[in-house]
Each structure stands twice: as structure tokens, then as C-alpha cells.
Structure 1
């Protein structure tokens, strides 16, 4: 029954939207309880360089759950590369096969330990799904240890650097983009997807759709509201997007363009280290904690599922920790 549903959803994913697929999934779940379906036995033919059906179905399930297009593409590339470079059926893979694949991949590509462990996590997600779907009995990745990597602590912008960035922003779009990133703490993917209708200037709130299309609200301070109003008032296009390209056809601003704007602002500001949208998100979180926000409050604003992720920002604020220590330990 489950296999029939998976295959049906995989085929329909070429023609239906994610919302439509969810409805079909719900209908099939109910209908299939009333029938018995027996699969015809046929010879299995393996075609080289084709995507295994299991991977197709897995990606469809992730799409239904609301995974972003960029994340889906990352999962797809990772799994296709894996499938094309092993000589076995994906259902017959062992822990040693995965260890060997990761070792060969590391030697063949110039990647860090963190990127390599990301591949392991994608494979783990895929095989956990296959266990849940009763396609295989055990997840082989469970026996593959996480790859230890030296995590570099990203230092947030100092208050001086923050003001330097503000002063270096030249265009109305640059000013609005920087202030919105800092005030909301949004991910760059969330900024890309924002529409003008997501902004409520009366309440200073922004409706954001985060990972898995989960809705939450972020907030605009006075600076960001003023910068956004000026930018939107200057626009001559009819696009629904909050941030758009400067030239026709005024497409929604993409990840590369946003990163380029922030990089250029930092260069003009004379900041001698890489500055990118996620560093501004780090800065927002650290400044909130420094000024008295709790971890739970920062977690809610940033849209973190796990408190452990938010805890990273608390570790960054060593200066504040030292100040507290000096007050308490005489």
C-alpha cells in the first residue's frame, strides 16, 4: 500500500504543486485503508545514471513537508552523486560502503570536514526515511560516526562596525536591506521570499516563512521601518517582492545579489573581514542576548527548532560574560 502511494506521489510530483500533493497524500491514505493492492512481480532492470526510485520518492516526501527549493536541490545533488558512484543498489548499502564513499569523496574534492559531515547527514536522512517506509530494516548510517570538525567561531559585528556598515550603505535598497537583515535576524532565504504584504508598518511586524514553511513573526525597529518606507516609496515597479533588482524586469532579488550588496557595503565601510547576511543574523542574536533577551526569546525570533542552535550565540558573547564575572567575583 505504502509503496503504491509513494510511486503515485512521485509521478504526480511532475504535474502538481506541493499543496496539491499534500491533498492527494491525505486522500490516498484514507482510500487505501479500504482496498488491498497486490504488486505484479516483474524483472528488475537497473539503468545506469538514472535516479533510483527510492531517491525520487524521498525527495517528493521532503517537498511535501515544505523543504525549500535550495535545500531540495542540495539533497538531490548529494544523493544523485552518491547513487552514481556506488556499485550497489541503494537498498543494499552497508555502513562500510558509506565510510568508503565519504573517504573517496574527501580525497577527490577539496572540501572541509563540515561539508563532508553534511553529506553524511543527508545520507542519514535518506536512510532513516527508508526505514520508516519499511523499504529497508536498518539504517546503515547509524553506524557511521559523525565527522568531527573544528568549528570556527564567527565573531559578530561590533557596535562600531555596525555603525560603519550603516554609514557605508549608499542606495535606498542597500539601507533597507541591511536594516531589515539586522532588525529581523532573518535568514537570507527568508529575506528573498518576503513580499510587501508581509510587512505590517502599523505593528512593526514581519510575517516570515522559515524552514519547512513554518510561519513566525519578526520585528522591525524604527531604523528599518524608515529605511523600508523610503525604499518602497522610491520603487516604480509592480512586483510583490519586498526587494527587487534595480533594472527591468525588476525580478525578485536573489541570494547572490543580496550577498553582493552586503559585501560591497562592508568593503566601503573598511571592514577587513568577510561580511555576509548570516553574519548579520549572528550579530542580531548576540546583541539581543547582550541586552537581556533570553535564549528562548532569541530562539523564537530566529526560528530555531532546537535551543542548542541558539546556545551557539550565547557562547560568542565572551565580553558580556567577562563583565558579569567581574561584577560577581571581587
Structure 2
């Protein structure tokens, strides 16, 4: 087994990263490996610097370059720890700084308009679409957490679902009474098709996957309507942003999102401040 396969196994089995995250890591490492003709273990610091210059010249974003450097650094750290190399060529290689990306979220009125506008009736595909969106928005879960919900993870009487987050950390998320009813309707419509044991399945009865989710989102949330490309993570941003603007404490939102530290949640704190400024301007006699 070569070093990249060993690293992949480490990310999957030891770090317990999601399949999507592991693929991203390995893709970045393999891209560099191909640039150095498969001699990644003997690559020099100079070759890494040339690779970084090549990334800048290719026009990809600073954020993407930073991610690629981080992935390669993780790979060499793994190799050093397992005595595959004597010294990491990533030493003194700095990660580019980038400005924090503005959190994009769907305005509450548009979210309600789209969700309430899905008249599912007896159409099982529309029921599935509506359930997918309701779960994404009401729970704030990551896409991997949603698609990996098994029927056995759901407790309808307690209105709870167990999900596995980053690092395989389990947490409980809460669902509304209307989502409970939607799940019951959905299960009635899909029970003869569902052969996977997962809650959300495709037309063949197999577990849905991230691209399936994205295609479904594109149908209901086109760029022309929203003004930007909506992804499953946009629902997570919307969940947190709407709660912040309702005055929910940031520490509570941290736990609901399954963040390990408050630093990841603080990106949303400016939203509450912006809302307060707007309210002050509109409501104050001198505003």
C-alpha cells in the first residue's frame, strides 16, 4: 500500500472524516504528487514553492490555495509521524491569509415562500423534496449529517434525530411537529422503495448523495431568484443567521450546529449587531 493510500486510510479510519472531506484531501495531495512525477516523498521545498506559484497563476482563490497547502501539510505531518520521511518539506511554508468570507444566507421571507410553496399532496418526490429542505433548515445540519440519517436514528415520539457530525461525534437534533407528520407521510409513500435503511432515498431506493441534494436545491432556489448560488450549507448559514437575528444566544447556536468551539460560530455575531443598528435607525425618533 503506498503512502497516499495509507494517508487516506488514516483520514477515514482514525480521523473519521466524511467521505467528501477525505476525497478533497486526497485529490489535493494527488494533484501535487502528479506535478512531482509521483515522487512526493522526495519532493523538495523548492518544488512546493513552485507548486504554490503555479496555483496563484492558475487564478484559483486564495481560500482554495490555503486549503491545498493545509492538506499537503497534513499529508507530510502524517508521513513524518509514521517515519516515511525524515524531514517535512513543508517547514517554513506559510499559508496565505485571506479575508473572511461574508456569510450568505437566504432571507427568511424567501425561505418561507419556497418551503410553503411546495404543495406536495400525494406526490412522493415532492414530499421528499419538502422533507429534505425542512430538515436542512429546521436542524441546521450539514449535508453529510442529513443524507446519513437512518430510520433507526429517528425518535418521532420525542421529536429527536441522532446525527453523526464531524469526527463521528454524535449529537441530537430536534424536529418540529410538522416535520414528524411529514416523515410519517414520506415513510408511507417510500416504504416499498426504500431498501437502504436511510431516511432519504433516490428513485431507485438507494441513499441520496450530495450532488442529488444540490440538483434538488437548484430546482427551487435558482440564482436568479436568490442572487447567489445556494448550497446545502447555505441552509445551515440561514438556520444560524435567522436564530441570531431572533436574539438566540451564540452559545446555544454553537451547540445546535455541533461546533466544537465558539470561534466557528462567531462568524454569525455581526448579523445581530447589524440588525440592532437597523432597528435603531428605524425606531429611534432621531434615526
Range class of TM-score, shorter chain: 0.7 to 0.9
Rate the CA distance shift 1:267–1:119 in 2: closer, same or farther, 3 A. closer
- What is the rounded CA distance, in whole Å, between the counterparts of 2:91 and 2:111 in structure 1? 43
With normalisation by structure 1, the TM-score equals 0.74
Residues 1:69 and 2:12 aligned together: no
- What is the rounded CA distance, in whole Å, between the counterparts of 1:96 and 1:307 in structure 2? 38
* Farther off after superposition, 315-324 or 285-294: 315-324
Measured after TM superposition, the shift of residue 76 of structure 1 is 1.8
Measured after TM superposition, the shift of residue 75 of structure 1 is 1.8
Rate the CA distance shift 1:325–1:229 in 2: closer, same or farther, 3 A. same
Name the counterpart of 1:237: 193
Residues 1:274 and 2:223 aligned together: no
- What is the rounded CA distance, in whole Å, between the counterparts of 2:182 and 2:169 in structure 1? 27
Q: Deviation per CA, 1:40-64, whole angstroms, max 9, x where unpaired?
A: xxxxxxxxxxxxx332222221121
- Determine if contact 1:168/1:269 at 8 Å carries over to the other structure: no
Name the counterpart of 2:151: 196
Residues 1:159 and 2:108 aligned together: yes
Name the counterpart of 1:185: 140
- Determine if contact 1:67/1:211 at 8 Å carries over to the other structure: yes
Name the counterpart of 1:105: 55
| Higher alpha-carbon Rg | 1
- What is the rounded CA distance, in whole Å, between the counterparts of 1:113 and 1:259 in structure 2? 24
- What is the rounded CA distance, in whole Å, between the counterparts of 1:59 and 1:273 in structure 2? 34
Name the counterpart of 2:80: 131
1:237-276 matched pairs, under 5 angstroms? 237-239=193-195, 240-245=197-202, 247=203, 249-267=204-222, 270-276=225-231
* Farther off after superposition, 299-308 or 185-194: 299-308
1:208 counterpart SS class: strand
Q: 2:239 aligns with which of 284, 287, 292?
A: 284
2:213 counterpart SS class: helix
Name the counterpart of 2:122: none
Length, aligned pairs only: 275
- What is the rounded CA distance, in whole Å, between the counterparts of 1:88 and 1:200 in structure 2? 50
- What is the rounded CA distance, in whole Å, between the counterparts of 2:229 and 2:38 in structure 1? 43
- Determine if contact 2:33/2:40 at 8 Å carries over to the other structure: yes
With normalisation by structure 2, the TM-score equals 0.85
Rate the CA distance shift 1:163–1:58 in 2: closer, same or farther, 3 A. same
Q: CA RMSD in A?
A: 2.7
Rate the CA distance shift 1:137–1:154 in 2: closer, same or farther, 3 A. same
Rate the CA distance shift 1:295–1:132 in 2: closer, same or farther, 3 A. farther
* Farther off after superposition, 71-80 or 144-153: 144-153
Name the counterpart of 1:116: 65
- Structure 1, unmatched stretches of 5+, are 1-9, 11-52
